[in-house]
Structure formats: structure tokens, C-alpha cells
């Protein structure tokens, strides 16, 4: 079928730390013809990067923990989330450059090798966010402490955790953010291959 859509109107309804746009549109239907006019708000997040930092020799994953507003409002007793390094792509930056930068800023880690895991939308029904998810090889022996940029109000606890413990955290529901869940499940499937590819032992 010939899939088409028409944007009938667009307006910016909020501009702050983030931007919200409102659209009136219609689209073709699988059964033929066109939909009725629909109105949707779109949270403009832009393109972002997330990095699963992994030490294949120690078999450890670098996890970060930080306060998250949505978690605080919805589940006040679980306001701090266990995640992986992530950040927005600024104008003129490549996804790879952001991966290296954010790994240093948020975790104090220098990436030795980098590979793309996948690219995907996080919540395409309402958010424009497009994620490039990487795996980065790191040396975890000196990992730990509190990191982040003061001018971005970041307060990030960093630790290197054995893979088996990380996967147990996943199974026990201690990791509640989608991106690290996807990354850790990918690592579970590709861990032995990564050890062969990146390992020194």
C-alpha cells in the first residue's frame, strides 16, 4: 500500500528545558482511505546516545545511579535509578563523540574500543528521542566515586559490578529504565563473543 500522511498544522505549545510541539495531521489507513484528523503533542528530545561500558577481562559492567524526576514523582520511594551512561547529541557532534565525552563526564571512563549495538526510538508515540546505543570497552580497575558536571546539576554515583550481579539486578527488578535493560540483555547474548574480541586473557 501507499503509506502517506499530511501535517495540517504545527505549533510550539511549550518551550523550556525541553520543547513540546502540537500537530494536527491525518494518515492513510491499512484498509484504504484516510484517517480522521488527529491531534498529537510531541515531546522534542532529539538524538541521544547511551553507552554500556564493559570490561571484558574483569567481566564487569559500569553502572551509574542518579536522581530522576519522573521516577521521583511516580514512585517517590524509588527516585534514584540505576542506569548506564547517556547524553544528548549537541549540534556539530557525532554519536561517537558523545559516547566518548559522556563516558568521561558521567563515569570517569576512557573508552578503549566502541561498537554500535543498535539504534531505536524510545517512545515513538509521544517522544522524538532517537537513541544510538553503544558498547564501550573500558578498564574498570579504577572505576568508582561520584561524577558529573556541576553546571548541569549532575550528581552521579558510579560503580563497576560483576556481570552476574548486574543480571541478577535486572531479574530482581532493581533496574527499571528501558535503555539499560536493553543493553544488559544484549550483553547477556553477546558476552562470550565480546570476551573473545576484546579480552586480553
Helices (H), ranges, 56-161: 69-74, 95-107
Instruction: Enter the C-alpha cell of residue 195.
Output: 570476551
Given the residues 152, 165, 171, 176, select the one marked as catalytic.
Answer: 152
Of the candidates 152, 170, 155, the residue with the CA atom closest to the CA atom of residue 52:
170
Residue 106 designated active-site: no
174: Cα separation from own chain's centroid: 17
Q: Specify the pairing of strand 156-162 against strand 38-44.
A: unpaired
Query: Which residues are identified as catalytic?
Result: 152
Amino acid at each position: 500500500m501507499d503509506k502517506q500522511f499530511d501535517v495540517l498544522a504545527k505549533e510550539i505549545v511549550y518551550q523550556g528545558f525541553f520543547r513540546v510541539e502540537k500537530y494536527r495531521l491525518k494518515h492513510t489507513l491499512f484498509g484504504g482511505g484516510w484517517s480522521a484528523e488527529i491531534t498529537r503533542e510531541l515531546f522534542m528530545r532529539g538524538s541521544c546516545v547511551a553507552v554500556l561500558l564493559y570490561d571484558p577481562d574483569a567481566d564487569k559492567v559500569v553502572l551509574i545511579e542518579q536522581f530522576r524526576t519522573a521516577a521521583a514523582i511516580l514512585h517517590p520511594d524509588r527516585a534514584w535509578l540505576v542506569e548506564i551512561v547517556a547524553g544528548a547529541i549537541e549540534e556539530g557532534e557525532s554519536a561517537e563523540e558523545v559516547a566518548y565525552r559522556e563516558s568521561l563526564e558521567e563515569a570517569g571512563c576512557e573508552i578503549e574500543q566502541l561498537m554500535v549495538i543498535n539504534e531505536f526510538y524510545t517512545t515513538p508515540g509521544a517522544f522524538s528521542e532517537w537513541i544510538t546505543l553503544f558498547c564501550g570497552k573500558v578498564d574498570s580497575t579504577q572505576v568508582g566515586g561520584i561524577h558529573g558536571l556541576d553546571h548541569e546539576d549532575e550528581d552521579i554515583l558510579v560503580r563497576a559490578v560483576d556481570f552476574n550481579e548486574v543480571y541478577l539486578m535486572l531479574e530482581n527488578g532493581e533496574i527499571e529504565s528501558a535503555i539499560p535493560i536493553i543493553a544488559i540483555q544484549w550483553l547477556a547474548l553477546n558476552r562470550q563473543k565480546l570476551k573473545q574480541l576484546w579480552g586480553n586473557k
